[in-house]
Amino acid sequence: MVQHSGLKHYQTWLRIETSGDPVIASCTFDYISSDLISGVKDPLPDLTSSALTLFSNLMLAQAYECVLSKAEKDKKKPAILARIASTLTSLYEDCLSDCSGGAKNVVPKDWSGVLSMKKGLYEALTQYHQSKACCEAKQYGEQVARISFAYELIKCVARSSCFQRKNLVEQFKQEESVAIKDNDHIYHEKVPARGSLAPVEIVDVIKKTPLTFPLSSSTTKDYFENLLPIAVTEAVNTAKGVRASLIDSEICTLRGASTKVNEVLASYNFPAALLAKGSNSITDNILSKATSIRQDGGAEKLYQQLMSIPECVQRNKEIIEAEKSSLDDEENSDNSLRKQYGERWSRKPSSELNKLWRSDIQKCLNLLEQTTKTDASLLERYEKHKEHFEILSKPEDELETLIGSDAKFAESNTEANNEELKSELTQLCNKLELIKTERNDLIEQLKLVDYSPDLGKISRFNLLW
């Protein structure tokens, strides 16, 4: 496992902190090469010692590239950058040697060119950063020698088709000319030969730590734990369907009972009729309904709307019939052209293309037929209660007069036990409200019922037997 813990030099002043997740690839290849290959009788070509060594060095080199990139971004001292680049040069040189040796037939053919380019690039960067370090140390002659060497190396690397940092060529050229000019006109130091330049030391900033098992810190989940036979899965799905059907049926029954109670109460105007303060008063329920009817135009307006419904239905039927006729004409045209051209008329038959349209048209016709029956029922109910609608359409003062006269007539025939009857009805209405509340709570509980047994445990238990 390659872990970026920091860039550490032999001295305490050289340190670049890095952070990130551990990179396990390099040490994984080392572990395979040292511990696993010995137990394999006929290893594959990519599992030979030379191939695994190449992969390990390559992963380590890529980790060092990350360190160098971070160090350049953090603008570390040139001496630090030069030593990291020198380490990369050495690693890619080893990779190139392995690629040309025992792992030659394992890796793709273009790897050699890429590794050669990488080696040349970081060798040039080594000389470039070291020249910067020489400039800081006022060794101007060595600076000229190293920047010139770096420029020659980068020109050779730039010929590679996979080289992407083209800007380095011009940058090295400009810095070479500046260094030569400054040394010729100001410092006049002797420029040493390239062969006499001291090699840049490498630096060990990334440590390989042995693999620890398990590789994941979290508990590994067994993905086959809940695997069940298809028959068991189908039986569970069937049981869920039956359970859902029973629950839906029970909920439907409870809701139907509550609906029937509400209809009966509404027919007797309960409990609103019990809220009247006196025999001559009009309940708030009646007043609100009368206000709603008057705002909508009264009984006359309601009757006009009911009478306009058949006309709208007829117009909708005409539109649908026109669309149906258009589809018939299109299908007839398609059939005639098919007979005329035979096999040359290869398009899909219109009868198949128009199936969805015809299905939608039939649905609309069925809906209109059902609507017609509903409209007739509404008109019948209106005619039955027309007198009541007309009374509710009157102004509030007239409404109070009409209801008040009826109330006085009823008051003359009222027995002394009217209050007792009213109290008894109020208690019954309260009980009904309590029952409806309990039904609603029961419905919510039924919705929350979930029968999902741990079939994985059941399966493992059966396997033990």
pLDDT of residue 44: 67
| CA 336 to each of CA 328, 341, 348, 368: distance values in angstroms, whole numbers, following the listed order | 12, 9, 14, 33
Going by C-beta distance under 8 Å and a sequence separation of 6 or more, which residues neighbour residue 68? 81, 84, 85, 88, 125
Beta bridge partners of 293: none
Can you tell me the mean pLDDT for 316-320? 89
Cα–Cα dist 163/143, whole Å: 25
Cα–Cα dist 101/171, whole Å: 36
Most confident stretch, 53-57, 153-157, 255-259, 290-294: 153-157
Most confident stretch, 107-111, 175-179, 204-208: 175-179
Neighbours of 67 (CB within 10 A): 20
Pull the structure tokens for residue 228.
Answer: 């069940």
Cα–Cα dist 309/382, whole Å: 14
Burial class of residue 397, CB neighbours in 10 A (0-12, 13-18, 19+): exposed
Q: Are strands 2-3 and 207-208 parallel, antiparallel or unpaired?
A: antiparallel
Beta bridge partners of 3: 207
Beta bridge partners of 208: 2
pLDDT of residue 207: 75
Pull the structure tokens for residue 364.
Answer: 């609309």
pLDDT of residue 83: 94
Whether the CA torsion 392, 398, 400, 402 is positive or negative: it is negative
Going by C-beta distance under 8 Å and a sequence separation of 6 or more, which residues neighbour residue 306? 375, 378, 379, 382
Cα–Cα dist 199/197, whole Å: 6
pLDDT of residue 36: 56
Helix (H) or strand (E) holding 158: none
pLDDT of residue 15: 38
Query: Do 211 and 27 touch, CB atoms closer than 8 A?
Result: yes
Neighbours of 246 (CB within 10 A): 12
| pLDDT, tens only, 384-437 | 877 777 777 777 777 767 665 554 444 545 444 567 787 888 888 888 889 989
Instruction: Scan for tokens 């053919």, then name that residue.
Output: 109
Cα–Cα dist 221/187, whole Å: 70
Fill in the amino acid letter for 175.
E
Closest among 371, 362, 260 to 312, alpha carbons compared: 371
Cα–Cα dist 100/119, whole Å: 14
pLDDT of residue 380: 83
Residue 357 has pLDDT above 50, yes or no: yes
Residue 456 has pLDDT above 60, yes or no: no
Question: What's the mean pLDDT when you consider all of the chain?
Answer: 79
Cα–Cα dist 169/121, whole Å: 11
Closest among 180, 157, 162, 26 to 91, alpha carbons compared: 26
Residue 88 has pLDDT above 90, yes or no: yes
Helix axes 230-267, 418-447, angle to 10 degrees: 160
Q: For the chain, what is the radius of gyration of the CA atoms? A: 47
The pTM of the full predicted model, rounded to 2 decimals, is: 0.44
Closest among 2, 19, 56 to 34, alpha carbons compared: 56
Pull the structure tokens for residue 407.
Answer: 């109330």
pLDDT of residue 43: 62
| Domains along the sequence of the chain with CATH | 2-208 (1.25.40.280), 303-380 (1.20.140.50)
Can you tell me the mean pLDDT for 314-320? 89
Can you tell me the mean pLDDT for 232-237? 84
Higher confidence at residue 84 or residue 226? 84
Pull the structure tokens for residue 251.
Answer: 């909920």
Backbone phi and psi for residue 288, each to the nearest 5 degrees, phi listed first: -65, -40
Residue 12 has pLDDT above 50, yes or no: no
CB-side neighbour CA atoms (13 Å) of 426: 10
pLDDT of residue 13: 29
pLDDT of residue 195: 87
Closest among 164, 87, 161, 167 to 122, alpha carbons compared: 87
Question: Cα torsion for 145, 148, 150, 152, to the nearest 10°?
Answer: -130
DSSP secondary structure code for residue 416 in this structure: T
Query: Do 118 and 93 touch, CB atoms closer than 8 A?
Result: no
Burial class of residue 364, CB neighbours in 10 A (0-12, 13-18, 19+): middle
| CA 54 to each of CA 30, 46, 62, 99, 358: distance values in angstroms, whole numbers, following the listed order | 10, 10, 12, 7, 69
Can you tell me the mean pLDDT for 128-151? 93
